[in-house]
Amino acid sequence: MEKLIVAANWKLNKNPAETKLYFSEFLKLISKEDEQQFVFFPPAINLHVTAEALADSDINWGAQSVYAKDQGAFTGENSAQTLAEIGGSHVLIGHSERRQIFKQTDEDFAAQLKTVQDHDLVPMLCIGETLEQRESESTQDVLRHQLTVGLSQADWSKSIIIAYEPVWAIGTGKVATPELAEETHKFVKLVLKGMTEDEVPVLYGGSVKPENAGELGSQDSIDGFLVGGASLKPEVFAKITP
């Protein structure tokens, strides 16, 4: 059985000392036989500490965002090339906070995704509708657009992960019902089928915690989770299982 992908988005939380302490505790709580394949996205400034802490484990880690160009006059950005050099494996792309706070567009994400794949890193493209869009019944149009543009330069011979995160469920404690999540994941998979014959994992994100992970994870079309708040404590995150 494929392992359930359980990814931690730490956002702008934790310093290097806290990162070190977290992983020393987390590694004691998990084992190779676990059903989860963990992926961590700490703030970029903590990635060296992360690389050291996870060097002897098979846990994956990567960046919350990278720029579409590898180097140059791009103040404040991070490089996919450098991430690959220091041993990272995954990159979050298109998180709703990148869309809403930093005003990045689907076209920006398409260019980032191409660069990420060029460096043999795995992109985790986040998509999701706002409450207003869900209420006006435009969820399917929004998701189709985010997928079509965001994946317009995708190399389907390489791995891609999608994370469906309804914006109204992120950090709000308001989780999608398993039925609503399943229905939306099915739609996302249908759109993906028009782009590739390969099976693309689709993760659910938005207020996932140990108490709701079991029911969500048992849905056919949910292949894992992207977790914010509940990933910040090792003893809580380690309990997120199908």
**Residues designated as active site:** 95, 165
Whether the CB-CB separation of 48 and 78 falls below 8 Å is answered with: no
User: Which range binds ligand PGA by CB under 6 A, 22-30, 135-143, 181-189, 199-207?
Assistant: 199-207
User: Which range binds ligand PGA by CB under 6 A, 28-36, 45-53, 70-78, 228-236?
Assistant: 228-236
- Number of residues assigned to the chain: 242
User: Which range binds ligand PGA by CB under 6 A, 47-55, 143-151, 222-230, 234-242?
Assistant: 222-230
Give least dist CB 206 to ligand PGA, A: 5
> What binding mask, one character per residue, do residues 150-169 give for ligand PGA by CB under 6 A, x or -?
---------------x----
Q: Is residue 171 a contact point for ligand PGA (CB under 6 A)?
A: yes
Give least dist CB 8 to ligand PGA, A: 9
Among 84, 170, 176, 238, binds ligand PGA (CB under 6 A): 170
Q: Is residue 227 a contact point for ligand PGA (CB under 6 A)?
A: yes
Residue type, 113: L
Among 62, 123, 128, 228, binds ligand PGA (CB under 6 A): 228
Supply angle C-alpha 182, 186, 187, rounded to 5.
120
* Secondary structure string (H, E, C) spanning the chain: CCCEEEEEECCCCCCHHHHHHHHHHHHHHCCCCCCEEEEEECCHHHHHHHHHHCCCCCCEEEECCCCCCCCCCCCCCCCHHHHHHCCCCEEEECCHHHHHCCCCCHHHHHHHHHHHHHCCCEEEEEECCCHHHHHCCCHHHHHHHHHHHHCCCCCCCCCCEEEECCHHHCCCCCCCCHHHHHHHHHHHHHHHHCCCCCCCCEEEECCCCHHHHHHHHCCCCCCEEEECHHHCCHHHHCCCCC
User: Which range binds ligand PGA by CB under 6 A, 29-37, 47-55, 187-195, 201-209?
Assistant: 201-209
Among 207, 212, 217, 242, binds ligand PGA (CB under 6 A): 207
> What binding mask, one character per residue, do residues 98-137 give for ligand PGA by CB under 6 A, x or -?
----------------------------------------
Give least dist CB 177 to ligand PGA, A: 15
Among 150, 229, 234, 242, binds ligand PGA (CB under 6 A): 229
Interacting residues with ligand PGA (CB under 6 A):
9, 165, 170-171, 205-208, 226-230
